[in-house]
Structure 1
Amino acid sequence: MKKSHQAPVDVNEQIENLISLDLEIEDKDYAKSVLNRVSYYRIVKAYSITLKENGKYIDGTTFENIVDLYLFDMELRHILFSLIEHIEVHLRAVITNYFSLKYGNFGYKDLSNYKKKNFQKSTIKELEREIKRNKKSPFIHNFENNYEGGEIPFYAAIEVASFGTLSKMYKNMENEDKKEIAKEFEVDYIYLESWIENLSYVRNICAHYGRLYGAKLTKTPKLYKEYLNQGISNNTIFASIINLKILAEDDYYDKFHSDLLEIINKYPSAELNHLGFIRNWQSII
């Protein structure tokens, strides 16, 4: 039998419910202030997952522990988003330069340039919707109003494409084309297409305030055998970070790494195994 929905309760009742579940709340005014700014579902439901046993909070768990996990996750999302953005911008440039030179400004519309024609029809429709949504963007407005036919060349279209659409386009390119693009990142295209798909997924979690801490990713990247042999799970954020290190330019990754260590030290209650970190993680990333 399906459960019935719980009736809405006010913040005071939320706090009393947490206390009844053995969560330690010394400062109720502080807890009330937090729950008035961040919804109970977003902070308590999401970040209590690793703090409970048999429906009750583990002995000694405090409201501040939950807040710390929420803040840790928020700051991790911010620095991950920034590093993924760097990779995404780089990838757009490489794909644009290669594909446009080989197939021309409008070759991206030619289904014969891709492996799966029906799949590409769907991807091109996605891209057309994104172009339409961004018709006021300088990238699009200029060509629609100032060029004969108003067609959008690939180098402009790619700038309004979502990372997900970009990932689908790359994955469906001919292997020869994927190999040439992957050379820029010094990786095999089989790995690169997997990593792009994963990073697009992680980027969307970050952009929409989703939870990374304790999450198991559904879009998983391939890992080099040396990492799999160490017991690293590819459905964790740690796996994504390993691949980001390989893809990113040193200056960008070093900044991320420094910020990551700062966040880890700032929130010692965050248990890194819930992100897939293994014992010797510092020697890997």
Structure 2
Amino acid sequence: MQLKEQQPSMNVDQQIENLKMIGLRIVNEEYARRILNDISYFRLIKAYGLGLKGKNKNFDGSISFEQIVELYLFNANFRQLLFTWIEQIEVNLRCRVANHFSHIYGVLGYEDPDNFNDPGYHYDFLCEIKKEISRNSKAPFVKNFKNNYIDGKIPFYALVELFSFGTLSKFYKNMKPQDKKAVATLYGVGYTYLESWVEHIAFVRNICAHYGRLYNVNLAKTPKLYKQYTEKGISSIRVFATLLCIKHLITNDQHWTAFVDKLDKLFHKYPHVDKKLMGFPDDWVNILKE
């Protein structure tokens, strides 16, 4: 396969001319200029123009610049709505894992590889934690434990606050089956599902944190879905699957219902959004609220 040469850089005016050349309809060039000075051509056009071009890699003249901006703005708003729920789940899971593990194995039980499923994973975890402690050495609670407690060790209920969501997911995955089951029972789900969902949500959380795209994208880390959803043809590679996982982990049904209503309004605000490209079935409202 012949490799391509890098394309030369274009200023904003050249970007606009290039978009017109490839068939994108630009109604207001001043608006397009303002947007392209705020959002990079690559982030906007390359990502949200996917699926809107013909086989010749050009637009057919029916797609407008404003339409692509609409998809971008929808994604930004959706991502912010979703991130609020992910934050709640992350904080809640930290609490439940820390409470259970500290009670069963003691506040320094995380140091003992016998308290885990895989000693190899445990060694990697300890290395990762040492780096986090060093990185956060000036944090008041880290300094307090290091300066005022025997051996300067940090108890697990405090240490868990240094975990990224990814580290928390790995920690839960390496807990013994009976411990994973005890935590999962607090959510009313099986631990194999919780393990899968947490790993998936942590992956989506990173997309949100880096302002990534959730619209019209196949998610690389997929969750294990209940049969009631797979029988409806719901795909695990699209972001609707993420909402199904979150639905089963929430602690406030009223707030969840309000979220679903906000999401419905968001779809109405941005009519060019194709819900099916996010894995949403026609009866998505009923599925999320039932």
Scaled by the length of structure 1, the TM-score of the pair is: 0.97
Aligned to 1:205: 207
- 1:265 is aligned with what amino acid? H
Quote the Cα distance in structure 2 between the aligned partners of 1:162 and 1:255.
Answer: 28
C-alpha RMSD of the superposition:
1.1
2:8 counterpart letter in structure 1: A
> 1:94 and 1:119 mapped to 2: Cα distance?
21
Matched, 1:277 2:280: yes
Asked if structure 2 preserves the Cα contact closer than 8 Å seen for 1:239 and 1:276, the reply is: yes
1:264 is displaced (CA, Å) by 1.1
Contact 2:23 2:59 in 1 (8 A): yes
Aligned equivalents of 2:118, 2:60: Cα separation in 1: 51
Structure 1 runs not aligned, ≥5 long: none
Alpha-carbon distance, 1:53 to partner? 1.6
**Aligned partner letter, 1:245:** K
Q: Distance in 2 between matches of 1:109 and 1:80?
A: 34
Partner residue of 1:114? 116
The alignment partner of 1:29 has SS state of: helix
1:164 Cα deviation after fit:
0.3
What residue in structure 2 maps to residue 89 of structure 1?
91
**Structure 1 contact 115–174 (Cα < 8 Å) conserved:** yes
Matched, 1:255 2:258: yes
Q: How many residues align structurally?
A: 285
CA distance in 2, matches of 1:21, 1:12: 15
The aligned residue for residue 53 of structure 2 is: 52
More displaced, 166-175 or 242-251? 242-251
Contact 2:260 2:285 in 1 (8 A): no
- Inter-partner Cα distance in structure 2 for 1:280 and 1:240: 16
> 1:18 aligns to what?
19
Deviations 1:255-281 (A, max 9, x none): 322321221111111001111112222
**1:108-163 CA distance string (max 9 Å, x none):** 11111111110121122112212221222233122112212110110111001000
In the TM superposition, residue 58 of structure 1 has moved relative to its aligned partner by 4.1
Deviating above 6 A after TM superposition, structure 1's stretches of 4 or more consecutive aligned residues are none
Q: Which whole-Å CA distance do the structure 2 matches of 1:131 and 1:219 have between them?
A: 28
| Contact 1:25/1:31 (8 A) holds in 2 | yes
Q: Percent identity?
A: 46
Deviations 1:22-81 (A, max 9, x none): 111011111000000111111111100021121112441100001000000001110111
Amino acid at match of 2:170: K
- The aligned residue for residue 63 of structure 1 is 65
Contact 2:89 2:250 in 1 (8 A): yes
Structure 2: 5+ residue stretches without partners: none
Could you say which structure has the greater relative contact order, defined with CA pairs below 8 angstroms and 6 or more residues apart? 1
**Matched residue, 1:229:** 231
Structure 1 SS opposite 2:248: helix
Given residue 50 of structure 2, which amino acid in structure 1 is its aligned partner?
A: I
Report if the CA contact (8 A) 1:131-1:161 is conserved.
no
**Partner AA of 2:210 in structure 1:** H
- Give the 5 Å matches for 1:180-191: 180-191=182-193
